[in-house]
């Protein structure tokens, strides 16, 4: 159990596992608060405003106030809604997002569960979200919700294909699907990162275009999977009001809200793991102790969260058919070509 220092310290007992499970939960709650504040503040700065200013110094405890408020709002279940599905959907969506945190590493000494199918596992449990959104949208008995849910399901299922192709390519490059295996194969200086061809001789630089294409395919696909702009059509305010969560109020809505932000971190962490060397310091062994590794990992992931927020306030939204066009006619062929190219690189190495 070298990848989990808590198990090393406390031994193999139930308390150790509970603590191991609690840390990601605390992390996701704190992260969600930071991300909500970041969303408000970054939006404001992009738009030449100040953002929340009156809740604590510079408004930094605004998300806390929001949680306090959402806790005490009335919980409405529409009269003609399908109650079991309507009430379960927020929990399913949060479970789906949170389950992915089981294998997301923080440093080489703390991976909550270092299973040998890690990347595949994240990919699998993320699909929970689709089910939950369909459940919530259909059960709401609201036409906007149904439209949003159907849009969301078609979008997320389509975009899983190019992203899964990128995962296969990275697996071919690293010869493993384990999170720690993929990250360890990129150890060393930053030119060993998968984005720059992974470890190997100079011939790998010939394959960088394939990896760049793959990186872009994965990043765009992950934007679509997290329902972020420019692919936020399932909840596109100007068209279908709130999309699948139109009818949700109070904490059930907060669950959807939290899950969206948690999903953003999951996809950013995946990019970090697959392309940017995971917890590895960019400078070889310099600043590469386990504590620094946690810093590097979270910093890399958060920078992609930032890019997602930044894009949201810059780009307009695409249309449903354009979205499908991008997925099936542009990204899928590109991903296939890259997969072949990178498999070749894997063979050479």
Partner 1 sequence: MGLLDRLDNPYDVGDNIFLGTVEDVLNWGRSKSDWYMTFGLACCAIEFMAVNAAHFDFMRFGCIPRPSPRQTDFIIISGTVTLKMAERIKRLYEQMAEPKYVISMGSCSNSGGPYWENGYHVLKGVDRIIPVDVYIPGCPPRPEAFMDGMVQLQSKINHQAIFRKRKEMRPEDIAAIDQRQIELKKLRAEYEAYRIEHLDLTGVDNVAK
Partner 2 sequence: MSEIRDVAIDLGNVHTEHMKLNVGPQHPSTHGVLRLMVELEGEIVVDVVPHIGYLHRCFEKVCEQNTYTQIVPYVDRMDYVNSMNNELPYVIGVEKLLGITVSERIEAIRVICAELDRIASHEIAVATFGMDAGAFTPFLYLFRDREKILWVLEKLSGSRLLYNYIRIGGLMRDVYPTFKDDLRDIIKTVRETNAEINNLLNDNKIFVERCANIGILPPDVAINYGASGPMLRASGVRHDLRRVDPYSIYNKLDFEVCVGTGTMGTVGDSWDRNWVRMLEMEQSLRIIEQAMEMITDSSEDVRAGIPKRIAPKGELYSRAENPKGELGFYIVGDGKAKPQRVKGRSPCYVNLSIIPEISKGYMFADLIIILGSIDIVLGEIDR
Residues forming contacts to partner 1 in the complex (CB under 8 A) are: 40, 44, 47-56, 59, 62, 64-76, 80, 141, 143, 237, 241-242, 245-250, 253
Name the nearest CA neighbour of 89 among 140, 157, 24. Answer: 140
Using CB under 8 A as the binding rule, whether residue 318 contacts partner 2 is answered as yes
Dihedral pair phi/psi, residue 4, rounded to 5°? -140, 100
Q: How many CA atoms lie within 13 A of 319 on its CB side?
A: 2
Q: Which of 171, 86, 215 is nearest to 345 (CA)?
A: 171
CA-atom Rg of the chain in angstroms: 21
Phi, psi of 110 (to 5 degrees): -140, 95
Residue 264 CB, shortest distance to partner 1, in Å, is 18
Q: Identify any residues that bridge with 4 across adjacent strands, giving them in sequence order.
A: 110
Q: Find the binder of partner 2 among 5, 184, 208, 239 (CB under 8 A).
A: 239
Residue 102 contact partner, candidates partner 2, partner 1, none, CB within 5 to 8 A by sort of partner: none
Decide which of partner 2, partner 1, none touches 21; Cβ closer than 5 to 8 Å per partner kind: none
d(CA 177, CA 167): 9
Q: Does 273 bind partner 2 (CB under 8 A)?
A: no
- Which tokens sit at 200? 């190997």
DSSP conformation class of 319: P
Q: Which stretch binds partner 2 (CB under 8 A): 114-122, 185-193, 288-296, 318-326?
A: 318-326
Helix or strand holding residue 154 (H, E): helix 143-174
Q: Are 111 and 273 in contact (CB under 8 A)?
A: no
Contact track, partner 2, 192-231, x by CB under 8 A: -------------------------------------xx-
Give the position of tokens 């809200």: 257
Q: Which is nearer to partner 2, 229 or 293 (CB)?
A: 229
Q: What is the number of other CB atoms lying within 10 angstroms of the CB of residue 91? A: 13
Is residue 80 within the footprint of partner 2 (CB under 8 A)? no
Considering the complex, what minimum distance in angstroms separates the CB of residue 314 from partner 2?
A: 6
Q: Is 232 in the site for partner 2 (CB under 8 A)?
A: yes
Cβ closest to partner 1, residue 66 vs residue 225: 66
Binding window for partner 2 (CB under 8 A); candidates: 5-13, 72-80, 236-244, 273-281: 236-244
The listed partner (partner 1, partner 2, none) that binds 68, CB under 5 to 8 Å by sort, is partner 1
| Binding of partner 2 by 114 (CB under 8 A) | no
Where do we find the tokens 């949680």? Answer: 67
Buried b (16+ CB within 10 A) or exposed e, 127-142: ebbbebbbbbbbbbeb
Size, binding site for partner 2 by CB under 8 A:
28
Is residue 43 close enough to count as binding partner 2 by CB under 8 A?
Answer: yes
- Positions that interact with partner 2 (CB under 8 A): 43, 46-49, 143-144, 147, 229-230, 232-233, 236-241, 313-322
């Amino acid at each position: 159990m070298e990848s989990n220092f808590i198990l090393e310290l406390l031994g193999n007992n139930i308390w150790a596992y509970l603590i191991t499970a609690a840390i990601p939960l605390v992390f996701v709650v704190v992260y969600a608060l930071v991300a909500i504040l970041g969303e408000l503040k970054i939006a404001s700065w992009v738009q030449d405003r100040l953002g929340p200013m009156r809740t604590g110094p510079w408004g930094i405890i605004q998300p806390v106030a929001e949680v306090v408020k959402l806790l005490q709002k009335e919980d409405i279940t529409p009269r003609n809604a399908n109650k079991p599905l309507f009430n379960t959907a927020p929990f399913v969506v949060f479970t789906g997002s949170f389950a992915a945190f089981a294998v997301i590493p923080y440093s080489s000494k703390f991976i909550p569960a270092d299973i040998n199918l890690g990347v595949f596992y994240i990919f699998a449990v993320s699909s929970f979200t689709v089910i939950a959104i369909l459940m919530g949208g259909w059960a709401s008995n609201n036409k906007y919700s149904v439209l949003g849910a159907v849009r969301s399901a078609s979008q997320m299922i389509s975009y899983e294909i190019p992203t899964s192709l990128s995962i296969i390519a990275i697996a071919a490059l690293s010869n493993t699907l384990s999170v720690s295996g993929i990250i360890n194969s990129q150890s060393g200086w930053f030119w060993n990162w998968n984005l720059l061809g992974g470890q190997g001789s100079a011939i790998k630089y010939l394959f960088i275009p394939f990896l760049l294409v793959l990186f872009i395919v994965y990043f765009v696909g992950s934007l679509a999977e997290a329902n972020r702009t420019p692919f936020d059509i399932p909840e596109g305010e100007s068209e279908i009001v709130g999309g699948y969560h139109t009818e949700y109020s109070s904490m059930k809505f907060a669950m959807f809200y939290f899950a969206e932000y948690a999903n953003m971190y999951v996809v950013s962490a995946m990019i970090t793991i697959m392309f940017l060397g995971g917890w590895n310091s960019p400078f070889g062994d310099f600043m590469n102790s386990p504590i620094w590794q946690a810093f590097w990992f979270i910093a890399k992931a958060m920078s992609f969260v930032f890019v997602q927020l930044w894009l949201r306030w810059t780009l307009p939204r695409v249309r449903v058919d354009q979205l499908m066009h991008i997925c099936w006619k542009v990204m899928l062929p590109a991903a296939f070509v890259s997969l072949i190219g990178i498999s070749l690189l894997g063979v050479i190495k």
